[in-house]
Amino acid sequence: MSATVICPKCGTPMNHQADKLVEPTSREEAEASTALGGVIIAVFACPNCGWIESERERAEDEPG
């Protein structure tokens, strides 16, 4: 997962506030997500302007 995510709206480093399991949206994700049955998205919030961003975890990042 990215070390630092920068807010695209105001340039402030964002806070990693949640990891959420979601369903895979491609065959590649489905094949790589057998351990948890889905894909983890990391969710970030900007402490300056409140904007929300998310990143889908890469297959090699997945635990298990």
Partner 1 sequence: MSEYAARVVIAEVEKREGVETELIDVALLPIPVDDAGPGAKDPELAEKMNRADALVLVAPEYNHGYPGLLKHVLDTNLPEYIHKAAGIVGVSASVFGGARVIENLLPVLRELGLVAIFWDVNFTTVRARFDDDGVLIDDSFLAIDKFLDELLWMAETLRYGRERITLGGSG
Q: Which residues are at the interface with partner 1 (CB under 8 A)?
A: 15-20, 22, 25, 41, 43, 45-47, 50-54
Looking up tokens 């997500």, which residue turns up? 33
Q: Which H helix or E strand runs over 30?
A: helix 27-32
The nearer residue to partner 1, 15 or 34, going by C-beta atoms, is 15
Q: How many Å apart are CA 17 and CA 46, to the nearest integer?
A: 10
- At position 5, the amino acid (one-letter code) is V
Least distance (Å) from partner 1 to the CB of residue 36? Answer: 15
Least distance (Å) from partner 1 to the CB of residue 35? Answer: 19
Least distance (Å) from partner 1 to the CB of residue 47? Answer: 4
Residue 39: both structure tokens together: 């894909």
